Amino acid sequence: MMEKSRDMSQTNEAVSPEEKVSSPDVASKTSLDLENATVLRATSSNTDDKAIRRTRTVATIILIILILLILAACTMMFSLLRPGGIGVGTQHAGITWVRSIYGHGTTLDGMINPSSVTFAADGNSLWVTDSSRHRVVQYDINGRLLRIVNADRQENELIFPTRITVSPQGWFYIAEATYNRVQIFDENFEHQTTIPIENPTAVAANNDMLLIGSRRGFAAFTYDGGPIGMHDAASEDEINRFDYVHSLAIDDNNNMFVLDSFGNRFVKYDSDGVPQYEVLLGHPGNEGIRGGMDADAAELAADFPANLQLPQGLTLDGNGRLYIIDMFDFSVAVFNVDDGSFIKKVGTQGLQDGSFHNPNCIEYNPQMDMFASAEATLGRVQLFVIDGSGGDPFSQLRRQLNDLLRACCIPLIIILIIIAAYLISRYLSKKRREKELTAALVEPGDTSEGAADAVDTDSTKEQQT
């Protein structure tokens, strides 16, 4: 009996592992087990897929609702933060109001006496002289305070800044009429030099030339303060005699435009200082309190189509036009640069935004196609648009997008982060499901990364057997 058991054991040992696997009954049973396990795993996987799809649908709906809520909140905040006045983008008396920056107060960003305003070289900010607080202040074009330059009681102190301009290369020129000087600073606001000049009332500059106006006339300098020449009341030519030059401008060809406030006129000079034409804007202010009040309306229209009272500011746009703002007429007159012909007059008197109340200067921003004016009596700087001023077709688009991006910047970033997180989670979930499905087709109960390789190896052995 022991021999019989020994024979059976020897018989079993004689059968190799390959022969056991290659047995039809064993192979059939193994194949059936794999098929059943695959069906069960696929059924379970389908059930899981449905649950995942439901969860994904709910998550997508929640995500869309969250994005809509963020956009709605962004729109509401954008509307609430806009100051009151005429509707933004609505034209009123030829003026499309953009924004107002107000002062009057003890806070750092409050202006008491904004006597002049100019745009930075890049067009993304503006500088205001606040004479009563002895400083110049920088705001972005959305009205956010960026920088304050105070008197530092040293060589470059600002005691009573009254007028400011910035050249295209970023140099600053600041007039202090009370102290008979103009100070020059580089783009980093490092003091370069001081030009002594009697009662400076206006400054204008480009990369080649600096113009300084005074009560008696104006003078030309190099951009760094070297003298070039001057026109004053001592001139033998009547056209060169001025009575309070309140504003100046220089075009790309170094043509010069000089506003004579009390003379109620402006004069164009070429780059050599030769007069090209003179435009009379109205009865001169030095004619007395009544001036042209008794003049016939038809006569006024013929002689002075703009019919201004006390012009205070002058600027050039990007489309070959010249703009003059009037303190007592509460308007902006538009002229052709080539011949000085009158085009139109826009604006109206009022305390509300989009109207003027004793404006004392005007400046143009070619990068954003907008104007700025200062009203010292209200402690206000206004940004506005006048049709036909833009030489760059994309400047208006940049201006409009600037407001939207500023108001929606943070919400848009949040939305982009949410969308990115959602897409990444979808991608990772997809890759995980593909891996699980591959493992389900390999071997029941085995979801390891090497399972697929093991099945491939076994299949190869079966084929060889």
pLDDT tens digits along 377-424: 888 999 999 988 876 666 666 655 665 566 566 677 777 787 888 788
Q: In Å, what is the CA distance from 172 to each residue of 149, 184, 453, 457?
A: 12, 6, 74, 80
Distance CA 176, CA 22 (A): 105
Reference 330, options 308, 314, 315, 352; nearest CA is: 308
Looking at the structure, tell me whether residues 385 and 411 fall in a common domain. no
pLDDT number for residue 332: 97
Contacts of 72 (CB under 8 A, 6+ apart): none
pLDDT number for residue 308: 92
**Global pTM value:** 0.70
Element (H, E) at 456: helix 451-464
User: pLDDT tens across 173-196, in order?
Assistant: 999 998 999 999 999 988 999 999
Residue 212 lies inside a defined structural domain of this protein: yes
pLDDT number for residue 11: 46
Looking at the structure, tell me whether residues 416 and 359 fall in a common domain. no
Mean pLDDT of 101-121: 79
192: domain CATH number is 2.120.10.30
Looking at the structure, tell me whether residues 387 and 416 fall in a common domain. no
pLDDT number for residue 260: 96
User: pLDDT tens across 312-346, in order?
Assistant: 999 999 888 999 999 999 999 999 999 999 999 99
Q: Positive or negative, the Cα torsion across 324, 326, 332, 333?
A: negative
Residue 24: pLDDT above 60?
Answer: no
Mean pLDDT of 436-450: 58
Could you tell me the pLDDT band of residue 461, with boundaries at 50, 70 and 90? Answer: very low
Could you identify the residue written with the tokens 């304050």?
148
pLDDT number for residue 455: 45
Looking at the structure, tell me whether residues 382 and 415 fall in a common domain. no
Looking at the structure, tell me whether residues 63 and 89 fall in a common domain. no
**Residues 24, 29, 35, 41, Cα dihedral to 10°:** -150
**Residue range of the domain that includes 72:** 42-81+407-442
SS3 content of the chain, % helix, strand, coil (to 5): 35, 30, 35
Residue 121: pLDDT above 90?
Answer: yes
Distance CA 110, CA 151 (A): 17
Is the distance from CB of 185 to CB of 203 less than 8 angstroms? no
Looking at the structure, tell me whether residues 372 and 415 fall in a common domain. no
Looking at the structure, tell me whether residues 224 and 244 fall in a common domain. yes
Residue 447: pLDDT above 90?
Answer: no
Residue 303 lies inside a defined structural domain of this protein: yes
pLDDT number for residue 258: 97
- Give the residue with greater pLDDT, 160 vs 106: 160
Residue 16 lies inside a defined structural domain of this protein: no
Looking at the structure, tell me whether residues 365 and 225 fall in a common domain. yes
pLDDT number for residue 43: 58
Looking at the structure, tell me whether residues 343 and 418 fall in a common domain. no
The domain total for the chain is 2
Residue 50 lies inside a defined structural domain of this protein: yes
SS3 call for 349 = strand
Could you tell me the pLDDT band of residue 1, with boundaries at 50, 70 and 90? Answer: very low
Looking at the structure, tell me whether residues 335 and 436 fall in a common domain. no
Share of the chain above pLDDT 70, in %: 69
Could you tell me the pLDDT band of residue 116, with boundaries at 50, 70 and 90? Answer: very high
Adjacency order of strands within the sheet including 95-102: 91-92, 95-102, 380-385, 370-375, 361-365
pLDDT number for residue 345: 95
Could you tell me the pLDDT band of residue 290, with boundaries at 50, 70 and 90? Answer: low
- pLDDT, averaged across the chain: 79
Looking at the structure, tell me whether residues 289 and 428 fall in a common domain. no
Is the distance from CB of 112 to CB of 379 less than 8 angstroms? yes
SS3 call for 335 = strand
Looking at the structure, tell me whether residues 118 and 237 fall in a common domain. yes
Is the distance from CB of 102 to CB of 85 less than 8 angstroms? no
Could you tell me the pLDDT band of residue 20, with boundaries at 50, 70 and 90? Answer: very low
